[in-house]
Amino acid sequence: MMRLRDFDHWFVDHILPYERQYLKLARRLTGDFDEAADLVHDAYARVFAHDGARQVANPRAYVLQIVRNLGIQKIRRARIVSIETVAAVENLQHVDLAIDAFSQLSDREELRRLIAAIQKLPTQARRVVIMRRFDDMSPKDVAARLGISVSTMEKHLAKGLSLLADVLDAAEGADKPLPQERESGWSRKARSTTRR
């Protein structure tokens, strides 16, 4: 079984939830979904390469800034640039990358859904998920506290995360991405890895 590093968990929790926003910004800069996806993947590579990325106060704004900078570099290197692209770059000079009120409200609503979903989990799975994901306890410590083996704890964690994902996916049924907002391989792979 493949184990995720702490950095990978941080990446899945703090970077990937905003992938649509990164892709939207990248599409404004490139005008093409595939180029936008490449730009976002380049930004992810920069995040992975930056040793202090986990200490960044606002990871979402950090990645948006990387996408913006990479997009501007790409435009500067291009021999031919459309007028729409130039206008998009000029408009980006004045964009505030901080979290806005809508994002805060949206995040609070998502947190409420998450708490409600966690409360629906079976008791043991709920305890394990809370101790591992929220209290950041080690697998050994969780197992010791609950009086179970590490292997049993991992099974409860996998079951809890899988059920949690199912409940949240069902709640987001109306939020299915449009074809042009399809998910990248990175987020699908990360989501499937965390469900195991």
Does 86 share its domain with 137?
no
- In percent, the amount of the chain with pLDDT more than 70 equals 68
Lowest-confidence region among 107-116, 150-159, 179-188: 179-188
Please check the confidence at residue 109 and state whether its pLDDT lies above 60. yes
Looking at residue 180, what is its pLDDT?
38
How many angstroms separate the CA atoms of 75 and 117, rounded?
44
Does 79 share its domain with 146?
no
Does 127 share its domain with 74?
no
Looking at residue 37, what is its pLDDT?
92
Report, as an integer, the average pLDDT of 103-108. 62
Does 6 share its domain with 43?
yes
Does 60 share its domain with 118?
no
Q: What residue type is assigned to position 55 of the chain?
A: Q
Q: How confident is the model at residue 38 (pLDDT cuts 50, 70, 90)?
A: very high
Among residues 12, 20, 86, 96, which one has the least CA distance to residue 54? Answer: 12
Report, as an integer, the average pLDDT of 53-70. 89
Does 53 share its domain with 109?
no
How many angstroms separate the CA atoms of 24 and 103, rounded?
15
Q: What are phi and psi of 56, to 5 degrees?
A: -65, 130
Could you say which of 98, 127, 160 is where a domain stops? 98
Could you say which of 98, 123, 143 is where a domain stops? 98
Does 91 share its domain with 132?
no
Q: How confident is the model at residue 44 (pLDDT cuts 50, 70, 90)?
A: very high
Q: How confident is the model at residue 45 (pLDDT cuts 50, 70, 90)?
A: very high
Does 114 share its domain with 82?
no
Q: How many domains does the chain have?
A: 2
Does 106 share its domain with 91?
no
Does 41 share its domain with 67?
yes
Looking at residue 132, what is its pLDDT?
86
Lowest-confidence region among 38-42, 82-86, 143-147: 82-86
Each residue of 129-149: pLDDT tens digit? 888 877 778 899 999 999 999
More confident residue, 43 or 190: 43
State the residue range of the domain holding 41: 1-98
3-state SS of the chain is CCCCCHHHHHHHHHCHHHHHHHHHHHHHHHCCHHHHHHHHHHHHHHHHHCCCHHHCCCHHHHHHHHHHHHHHHHHHHCCCCCHHHHHHHHHHCCCCCCCCHHHHHHHHHHHHHHHHHHHCCCHHHHHHHHHHHHCCCCHHHHHHHHCCCHHHHHHHHHHHHHHHHHHHHHHCHHHCCCHHHCCCHHHHHHHHHHHC
Q: pTM for the whole thing?
A: 0.45
Does 38 share its domain with 114?
no
Could you say which of 66, 98, 130 is where a domain stops? 98
